[in-house]
Amino acid sequence: MYNRYKRIRNMREDKDLTQAQMANLLNIHQTTYSDYERGNLNIPIPILNQIADLFQTSIDYLVERTDELKPYPSKQKNS
């Protein structure tokens, strides 16, 4: 089975984080996180945003739409 979220797993492992630790950081159950990594569940955009922020990259990198690891510049907020 093709794993569309293999970069997320690889980045988690590079940071020496367990699935349980990631789930805790994302405030979700470990089994839910495991299902995300295996591609059994689609990852909701808010969770993808959290993961991208945690790994300092973009959602596009996480889902292999780009090979550019560096995140996009932040959007300027109007005061």
DSSP assigned state of 75 = P
With 0-12 CB in 10 A as exposed, 13-18 as middle and 19+ as buried, what is 63? Answer: middle
**In whole angstroms, how large is the CA radius of gyration of the chain?**
13
pLDDT in tens, 4-60: 788 999 999 999 999 999 999 999 999 999 999 998 999 999 999 999 999 999 999
Ordered domains of the chain (ranges, CATH): 6-62 (1.10.260.40)
Asked if pLDDT for residue 79 goes beyond 60, the answer is no
At 75, the pLDDT band (50, 70, 90 cuts) reads confident
Joined together, the tokens standing for residue 20 give: 């349980």
